[in-house]
Amino acid sequence: MAELISSTGKSGGRHQSRLPVRVDLTALVDLAFLLITFFMLTTTLLKPKVMPLVMPVGPSAAVAQSSTMTICIGRNQALCYLGMADKPLISPKQVAFGDDLQQTILQTGKRVFAATGKSMMVVIKPSQHSIYKNLVNTLDELNITQTSSYAIAAISPKDIDMLKQKGIY
């Protein structure tokens, strides 16, 4: 039990005898812990930010290579090309994450729409040396550019070779 005890003392030259004052602080300590617990359980420190991601349910449909852009994510940069890895329609371009990637997505999307009249499909292929932050940044750029069709796929050996040639694997 917590107590507060005052001592006897002399005042004004004469000796006064006081009874010790005892204040029980147990209830105050209990109330303090109850309030701390209440506020810890009811306070929201940071609201999570979530981006909706819709995954296909059934088998996937084939997409023309002329409207498929591939983004291979390396250690700290990405490699973008249009078409297949064996014969890309646009030569592989090394881009930094952020505005450079955003501009590449917009330009390629405009080119695909002008050539085919359809929207572009983007395939994201993270390498084993890429970091999670870069994958999220790529998804953010696709969201900003309002790219509606994209998928995350396993990286192929041909894509790994291209990343190694550019020095970003």
Q: pLDDT tens digit string along 100-153?
A: 999 999 999 999 999 989 899 999 999 999 999 999 999 999 999 999 889 898
Report CA-CA distances (Å) from 55 to 120, 125, 141, 151, 163. Answer: 17, 16, 18, 8, 27
Locate the domains of the chain by residue range: 65-166
Is residue 1's pLDDT more than 70?
no
Average pLDDT of 77-85?
Answer: 92
Q: Which amino acid is at 157?
A: P
Query: Taking the model in full, what pTM does it have?
Result: 0.67
Q: Which residue has the higher pLDDT, 108 or 58?
A: 108
pLDDT digits (tens, 9 = 90+) for 33-44: 999 999 988 887
Q: Does domain 65-166 have CATH number 3.30.420.40?
A: yes
Q: Report the chain's mean pLDDT, rounded to a whole number.
A: 86
Q: Helical H runs in the chain?
A: 26-42, 99-116, 132-144, 157-166
Out of 10-14, 61-65, 154-158, pick the least confident.
10-14
